[in-house]
Chain A
């Protein structure tokens, strides 16, 4: 079953920006994901344009995080391709893949800060890895990134010494270390209180507008989906494929699929079908 393509939303900004926004950034074609013989999702087709905030949604256990792992090069597709700027990620050589990785910033679900390093070292490691900057300059940048997420002064703290919400923000600071072209967020609001989660949404919008990054978010938080998303794909665990895609707000109004509708309106599935 093919996902229904919904109309794209109105574009804002200057002509030049609009042209850039329309350019496809990530193109996923006929992607099939599987662990060994266990099929997770099949026949996924979608395009993420420059400057999109793209939401990957669906019920628990339907393969959202697995799709993210495919997008960030942690898992090879069983079938199909993932292209960045027209180039196939998995068909590229190791060096080229590293270049792709250089343009990614990833916020993992648990923060995934390297526990043996301080926050400044966590951010610094990426800069050491990809740039020739001096140690003092690296520290300066690390301090800047931490202050952007409201953690100024925490440079020398270890991940175990800060709270869960702070870890998430520090993880975001690390994801932004290299001013990435694409930011991936795995369930950014999981474990955050409503206020922090709202602040994070604002921060995501801010990042898109100021840096022009493309942003991919895995979430099932309805408030976030409608607040920030302008494009999306809906994965269904039962049919093991995508059942809708496009702007979540339009999807809410127009998509007739009972599962999607129940998900987006937070209603019981029975009530929709009967």
Chain B
């Protein structure tokens, strides 16, 4: 690039060689500096006779220059440029102003806090409404007028019950193992290894079995509910249900809530058993306890109350996971990314709610001396 000044003050920019993206291109600043140095530049002209090739690299350079010239009220003579460049420049500047609604200016801090708080309020009302709809659906089911297909319910039960057994087995056995190992280090100091059985048994049955099953199901089933229903929302399938006179809550949500509420207590019992087996493995193999000895110790440590508390927790978690998954699915927007958000949110909501529910149940049991 060469910059030349003609007798009448007109600045001629001579561009030569290939001007393509990816090559070292001169910057528009050079020309700008040249203009600033000379107080009176009436116009900028171009000479492109030696230009061999060009693409957007040249265009961005020219647009930067033209915008700068417009600011300084300097005339730009484009006739020295190749025809293609001229017409593209014309097109770039001729785009009609889109009638875009001006974005609301960023609100005052307190207003934003207030807005966020009100959004939370709305979300709470939404959630309560959703739970209410499910309850009404359940009542309708008992009177036989709910629009729910038993075949769907059985399929859902199969998906969230038997098909979850392998992963629940693996995780529960490992949790039992971990509890036994961690406990044994302390208990061994007192020569009280036999109490590993008590520790593992009570911990698994009263809390850990239900919590582990809940967390697995939140990741496995809750997420799948949110994704499934969210995708149906994107596909207008939910709208199609509504216009067919079938309430989506009765048709989609009810079977899922019932299935998980029925299956989670059973999965909890199963997880308890697997956890105890995991602990037993450590006790028998690692600490030379007898199999029968371990079993007797577990049996004497456990009470039926412990089992009931675990099963009840499982039931509560089941409802939480199903409601959270379905709620996030129903709230899903109309794009692929919102399905992802719904799934993430479903898992997070479920796990947080499970932990909170555990805390409440534990405190209540303490207060009631159970």
Contact = CB atoms under 8 A, between A and B. Distances in A.
Partners in one complex: yes
Interface of A: 69, 72-74, 98, 101-102, 104, 106, 108-110, 112-116, 125-126, 129-130, 238
Contacts of B241: 114
A112 B235 contact: yes
Give 10 closest A-B pairs by Cβ, nearest first. Answer: A112-B236, A112-B240, A108-B236, A101-B245, A98-B245, A112-B237, A72-B243, A106-B243, A126-B244, A114-B237
A101 B235 contact: no
A243 to B, nearest CB: 15
B78 interface: no
Contact of A102 (B232, B235, B242, B245): B245
Contacts of A102: 245
A26 to B, nearest CB: 15
Contacts of A113: 237, 240
Interface of B: 99, 147, 152, 231-232, 235-237, 239-246
Contacts of B245: 98, 101-102, 129-130
Contact of B243 (A73, A109, A115, A116): A73
Contacts of B235: 110, 112, 115
Contacts of A72: 243
8 contacts: A73-B243, A101-B243, A106-B240, A108-B236, A112-B240, A115-B231, A115-B235, A126-B244
Contacts, number: 46
A40 B231 CA distance: 26
B239 A112 contact: yes
A238 B243 contact: no
B95 to A, nearest CB: 12
A115 B239 contact: no
A160 to B, nearest CB: 11
Contacts of A106: 240, 243
A114 B236 contact: no
Given A98-B245, A101-B245, A129-B245, A108 B99 contact: no
A112 B244 CA distance: 12
B246 A74 contact: no
Nearest to A105: B243
B101 to A, nearest CB: 8
Contacts of B147: 129
A108 B246 contact: no
Contact of A114 (B99, B240, B243): B240
Contacts of B244: 101, 125-126, 129
Given A129-B147, A238-B99, A115 B237 contact: yes
A23 to B, nearest CB: 24
Contacts of B99: 238
Contacts of A98: 245
Contacts of B237: 112-115
A242 B99 CA distance: 18
Contacts of B232: 114-115
Nearest to A74: B239
A129 B231 CA distance: 23
B107 to A, nearest CB: 14
B236 A109 contact: yes
A238 B98 CA distance: 10
A95 to B, nearest CB: 10
Nearest to B234: A110
Contact of A129 (B236, B239, B242, B246): B246
Nearest to B242: A74
A106 B147 CA distance: 20
B236 A110 contact: yes
Contacts of B152: 116
A178 to B, nearest CB: 9
A110 B231 CA distance: 12
A186 B99 CA distance: 26
Nearest to A97: B245
Contacts of A238: 99
Given A113-B240, A238-B99, 12 more contacts: A72-B243, A73-B242, A74-B242, A98-B245, A101-B243, A101-B244, A106-B243, A108-B240, A113-B237, A114-B240, A115-B237, A125-B244
